[in-house]
Structure 1
Amino acid sequence: MTRTDRATGALQEAHIPVEAKLAAAWTSFMFLYIYVDYLALYKPGFLDDIQAGVVHEFDTGPTFVALALTLVAVPILMILLSATLPARVNRATNLVVATLYIPVSVYNAQGEPWTYAYFYGLSIGLEVLLLAFILRAAWTWPRTVRATAGRDLAQARV
């Protein structure tokens, strides 16, 4: 192969295991999920509401804090689980959790003024796209063909 051939040839696609794709997608989801909440702190009056003990019309007591921690902890754990669970359990877990997080992401815009439509529309759109990627990657997980001992051995000999 000449230098010219290398320069004009197609780039070789790297094979990335499904587990790595899923872990990367959950990592991206978490960064977005956390930064949306962080940037919401800059909305006028948001910090005043927090200091008054209210977020999205919910009292910020122990139940709210536990629920908020759970909503953040699940996707955080999905990064680890996507990289370590056996394939069958991994696929099912990703399909279930990503499906459940679509309404969670959409709910974030509940009760927000239309002036923040772009902010919430963009953030929810990106979160849902990442969740759709997770669903697609898990759904299309490559399968291995199982050999049935007797029939395949007989066909191989022919």
Structure 2
Amino acid sequence: MRTPQSRTALKNPRFRSPLEDRLIPVQARIAAAWTTFMFLYIYVDIFNLYKPGVVDGILNGLVWRFDISATLLTIFLVSVSIPALMVVLSMMLPARMNRATNLVVASLLIPYSMFNAAGATWEWAAFYGISIGIEVLLLVFILRSAWAWPRRTTPSATRTTSVDDELHHTPQQT
């Protein structure tokens, strides 16, 4: 049985549990969401290959109703590169540019993701509904995180005197 910690232990970082929830910087949260988005994006495309007739169409030079060409594949490459690059950009860009970039790109990708349902039959409604639904939820999370990006507060002592000498920030400073 676990004994409750004293008030002093809860306030002093040296006595915190190693399983403590740490504040995650907004850049890392957004990059994690873009990474999840990319995994889903890729797996949906892979699973789509299992639909009857898709591989036959590809072998016959067609993707959906479009002829496979260098232009089409370039468009596909650009469309998958944008969210892939957002993983890195979310960690590397300065806060102001990062926030604006995430707001713009996530906003543009919501209708683009929904377009994937175009031409789908009711037989595949669950597949597209779940995949597009999760993609849109991730994009909304990115929009919400970027929109609520914490503003700089007055500088204060953020260094702790703990043994591990980690930085601890208030939610407004993260």
Give 2:4's aligned amino acid. D
Identity %: 58
Shift of 1:146: 6.6
Shift of 1:36: 0.2
Shift of 1:59: 1.3
Greater CA drift, 12-21 or 61-70 = 12-21
Residue 110 of structure 2 is matched in structure 1 by 102
Shift of 1:55: 1.1
Residue 65 of structure 1 is matched in structure 2 by 73
Q: Deviations over 1:86-131 (max 9, x none)?
A: 0000000000000010011101110011100000000000000000
Residue 87 of structure 1 is matched in structure 2 by 95
- Structure 2: runs of 5+ lacking an equivalent: 11-18, 156-174
Q: Does 1:35 align with 2:43?
A: yes
Q: Distance in 1 between matches of 2:150 and 2:20?
A: 20
Task: Give the structure with the larger helix fraction.
Answer: 1
Q: Distance in 2 between matches of 1:134 and 1:59?
A: 34
- Structure 1: runs of 5+ lacking an equivalent: 148-158
Q: Distance in 1 between matches of 2:119 and 2:53?
A: 14
Give matches, 1:1-158, under 5 Å. Answer: 3-6=2-5, 12-145=20-153
TM-score (normalised: structure 1): 0.86
Give 1:77's aligned amino acid. L
Aligned-residue CA RMSD in angstroms?
2.0
Q: Distance in 2 between matches of 1:108 and 1:55?
A: 13
Shift of 1:13: 3.1
Residue 169 of structure 2 is matched in structure 1 by none
Q: Distance in 2 between matches of 1:89 and 1:138?
A: 10
Shift of 1:145: 3.7
Q: Distance in 1 between matches of 2:64 and 2:3?
A: 60
Give 1:44's aligned amino acid. P
TM-score (normalised: structure 2): 0.78
Q: Distance in 1 between matches of 2:91 and 2:120?
A: 36
Aligned residues: 144
Residue 155 of structure 1 is matched in structure 2 by none
Give 1:5's aligned amino acid. P
Q: Distance in 1 between matches of 2:55 and 2:43?
A: 16
